[in-house]
Chains A and B, each alone.
Chain A
Amino acid sequence: EAQVTQNPRYLITVTGKKLTVTCSQNMNHEYMSWYRQDPGLGLRQIYYSMNVEVTDKGDVPEGYKVSRKEKRNFPLILESPSPNQTSLYFCASSLEPTGELFFGEGSRLTVL
């Protein structure tokens, strides 16, 4: 089954404790991206990647890092999480840059 898999789905952590949200897709897509979703603000892009070792900032990259060492994986790293990073995070992938985005089920992160 074609899918985008995120882990963990739910996480509660404390300020400053580094964490990684993993994302993996099995569709051989070149394009992957991360979004955060907050009430009233919709989906905002954090980072995107157009190929292995090629990443670029989206609209809200501050406080986040990403890496794309393999085509299928695109982890989101929060080096020192803060409460304003409490949000619902979505990973997405697509075959083309302006094509259909396939989203994961989301990762709800709470930073205390």
Chain B
Amino acid sequence: GESVGLHLPTLSVQEGDNSIINCAYSNSASDYFIWYKQESGKGPQFIIDIRSNMDKRQGQRVTVLLNKTVKHLSLQIAATQPGDSAVYFCAEIPRGYGQNFVFGPGTRLSVLP
């Protein structure tokens, strides 16, 4: 079936720098995307979502960008903090697939002091 993938399985950034985590999706019919954060030993936590009729959405210190032309999704974290260290997943829902979220394999973000 369709899959969502992530560039770079690991990412290391200096504390205070901005982080960019990328995601490529293959189903052009997907109309809803979410980013989740998973800390060690915990369940995933919602960060931010975006629908296909938008290109950009901002939250607190996070921005999600959607480029439908190249089927690319990115999560930008401003002023990265030690508490941002986690695995980040993107997920999509293909249109008409009810609640069948498709998750990417994840990117591990490490924040260096």
Contact = CB atoms under 8 A, between A and B. Distances in A.
Contacts of B93: 97-98
A42 B44 contact: no
A42 B46 contact: no
Nearest to A94: B99
Nearest to B47: A100
A4 B46 CA distance: 14
Contacts of A56: 98
Interface in B1-26: 1
Contact of B100 (A42, A45, A99, A105): A45
Interface residues of B, number: 24
A42 B101 contact: no
A104 B32 CA distance: 22
Q: Most chain-B Cβ atoms within 10 A of its Cβ — which of A97, A104, A105?
A: A97
Interface residues of A, number: 28
A48 interface: yes
A1 interface: no
Contact of A40 (B32, B98, B105): B105
Interface of A: 4, 31, 33, 35, 40-45, 48, 50, 56, 58-59, 90, 92, 94, 97-106
Given A33-B99, A43-B89, 15 more contacts: A4-B43, A40-B105, A42-B104, A43-B44, A56-B98, A59-B102, A90-B43, A100-B34, A100-B46, A100-B49, A102-B46, A103-B45, A104-B43, A105-B42, A106-B43
